[in-house]
């Protein structure tokens, strides 16, 4: 997955707003009731296969294993095979959760990542997907799709496969109406269109159309299930954070109707050339296409998915030195506030979650170049998943946060790097760039595979400690 920090020099000028007629945009703010993470009524289901990986670790101490094994992390459904064929699969996970639900009065909340778009991960190579727009299989040696997938101008074959994948997920979820199911929809996809469309060889208009149509279909289908809540991925502050205008101490310094958010004026929505505005325009277009009922099933937005950006509490320091580049969203609390205010300016009011699985050491990267690194960063476990976020909410002026969660399973690799015992099929430059540094872990296995040395590092440097 692409989890990079975008510099000012790479800001794209191509706008997706033209894809939608502004007078057609749906601005409804209807929302389903209830926080699916509310610990007074819900319990985050613990993935038993994560527990098995932890207990089988040869690097963790027995004490560390006992403290880590019962922490919930999301399950990635990144292939059709992962729906019900392999073990573990989404089906086996839901079966286990249904069994657990019989033994407790609290509703079991199961979080999964819906992640299988055609031409997936167009700006990186570590986690290319199985579906290509051409309908052909990816290159087995690189994981990339063929040129026709990126330049052919249409994606009917790829989207047909994605529809089949989504339909099978929905058909499976229908069988578990007593579970609370949370779908985090397609990390990296829509943010890539805001910053990398036309800037990266695989981020073409064909890919962009496939992403928008695919996410639209996923929302429309998942919305049919009343026990499923959705959160859309919105990248992180190091990706779409170049949005504020200038420092401030009060609202009057920010122009008519604009707020001063934690010392910085909120994003001016009229600046359509900026990446954050292009991203919000894409969201508005999708919400318009799916209609009021479906968009109301989108509970909110998810930040920092599988990334390492600092949370911003209790440490609010600008370790990545983003402020010097006029990015005032140097941590995720600041980013949520900033993006939420921009969403509301555009008629969209939702809730927020953020991934704290691996951002416990905010100073693990110390400048903008280091903070561009998203692959196998030597950080530490962050806040444990919880809906008890009142201390975080007090830091926010605009955004309403539902929970902090672990979207990426700590201990699973971001991508393959040299020195691994196996051949690297999906090779991304970023997974090798800083191997000689102190902050990137090398060697590492393929994306999604267990790295026993990394989990020990993350646990040893956890904040708060286990």
Q: How many beta carbons lie within 10 A of that of residue 386, not counting itself?
A: 15
Across the range 415-432, mean pLDDT stands at 82
Tens-place pLDDT, residues 316-368: 999 999 988 888 999 999 999 999 999 999 999 999 999 999 999 999 999 88
351 carries a ligand binding annotation: no
Which of 188, 337, 340, 451 is labelled catalytic?
A: 188
Asked if 188 is an active-site residue, the reply is: yes
- Alpha-carbon gap, residue 463 to 401, rounded angstroms: 20
Beta-carbon contacts of 143 under 8 Å, excluding residues fewer than 6 positions away, are: 125, 128, 425, 426
Between CA 414 and CA 358, with CA 406 as vertex, the angle to 5 degrees is 55
Across the range 378-390, mean pLDDT stands at 98
326 carries a ligand binding annotation: no
pLDDT for res 141: 82
Which of 233, 337, 340, 414 is labelled catalytic?
A: 414
242 carries a ligand binding annotation: no
Residue-range domain boundaries for the chain: 8-460
pLDDT for res 428: 86
Percentage, residues of the chain above pLDDT 90:
77
Q: Pick the range with the lowest mean pLDDT from 20-29, 100-109, 147-156, 281-290.
A: 20-29
327 carries a ligand binding annotation: no
Across the range 261-267, mean pLDDT stands at 86
236 carries a ligand binding annotation: yes
Architecture of domain 8-460: Alpha-Beta Barrel (3.20)
pLDDT for res 320: 94
pLDDT for res 10: 38
Kindly write down the DSSP assignment for every residue of 47-77, as one continuous string.
-HHHHHHHHT-SSS-HHHHHHHTT----EEE
163 carries a ligand binding annotation: no
Name the token pair of 253.
Answer: 């310094």
Q: Pick the range with the lowest mean pLDDT from 56-60, 234-238, 397-401, 414-418.
A: 414-418
Q: With cut-offs at 50, 70 and 90, classify the pLDDT of residue 232.
A: very high
Tens-place pLDDT, residues 266-315: 887 666 458 999 999 999 999 999 999 999 999 999 999 999 999 999 99
Across the range 63-87, mean pLDDT stands at 97
pLDDT for res 422: 66
Asked if 318 is an active-site residue, the reply is: no
């Amino acid at each position: 997955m692409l989890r990079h920090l975008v510099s000012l020099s790479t800001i794209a000028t191509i706008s997706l707003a033209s894809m939608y007629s502004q007078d057609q945009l749906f601005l409804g703010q209807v929302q389903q009731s209830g926080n699916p993470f509310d610990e007074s009524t819900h319990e985050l289901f613990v993935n038993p296969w994560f527990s098995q990986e932890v207990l089988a670790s040869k690097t963790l101490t027995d004490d560390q294993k006992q403290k880590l094994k019962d922490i919930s992390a999301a399950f990635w459904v990144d292939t059709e095979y992962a729906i019900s064929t392999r073990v573990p699969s989404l089906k086996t996970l839901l079966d286990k959760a249904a069994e657990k639900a019989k033994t407790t009065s609290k509703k079991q909340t199961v979080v999964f990542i819906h992640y299988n778009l055609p031409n997936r991960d167009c700006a990186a190579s570590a986690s290319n997907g199985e579906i290509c727009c051409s309908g052909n299989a990816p290159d087995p040696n690189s994981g990339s799709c063929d040129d026709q997938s990126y330049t052919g101008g249409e994606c009917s074959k790829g989207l047909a496969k994605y529809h089949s994948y989504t339909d099978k997920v929905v058909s499976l979820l229908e069988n578990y109406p007593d579970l609370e199911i949370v779908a985090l929809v397609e990390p990296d996809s829509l943010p890539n269109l805001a910053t990398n469309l036309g800037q990266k060889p695989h981020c073409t208009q064909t890919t962009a159309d496939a992403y928008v149509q695919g996410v639209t279909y996923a929302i429309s289908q998942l919305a049919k299930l009343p026990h499923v809540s959705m959160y859309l991925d919105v990248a992180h502050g190091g990706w779409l954070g170049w949005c504020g205008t200038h420092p401030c101490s009060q609202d009057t310094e920010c122009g008519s109707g604009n707020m001063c958010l934690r010392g910085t004026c909120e994003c001016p929505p009229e600046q359509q050339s900026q990446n954050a505005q292009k991203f919000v325009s894409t969201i508005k277009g999708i919400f318009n296409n799916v209609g009021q009922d479906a968009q109301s099933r989108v509970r909110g937005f998810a930040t920092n998915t599988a990334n390492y950006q600092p949370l911003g509490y209790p440490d609010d320091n600008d370790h990545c030195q983003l402020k010097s580049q006029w990015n005032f969203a140097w941590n995720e609390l600041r980013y949520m506030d900033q993006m939420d205010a921009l969403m509301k300016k555009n008629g969209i009011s939702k809730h927020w979650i953020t991934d704290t699985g691996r951002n416990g050491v905010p100073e693990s990267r110390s400048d903008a170049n280091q903070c561009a690194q998203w692959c196998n960063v030597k950080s530490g476990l962050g806040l444990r998943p919880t809906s008890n976020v009142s201390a975080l909410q007090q830091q926010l002026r605009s955004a309403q946060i539902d929970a902090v969660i672990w979207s990426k399973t700590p201990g699973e690799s971001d991508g393959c790097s040299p020195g691994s015992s196996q051949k690297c099929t999906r090779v991304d430059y970023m997974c090798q760039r800083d191997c000689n540094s102190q902050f990137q872990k090398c060697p590492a296995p393929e994306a999604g595979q267990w790295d026993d040395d990394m989990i020990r590092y993350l646990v040893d440097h956890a904040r708060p400690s286990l």
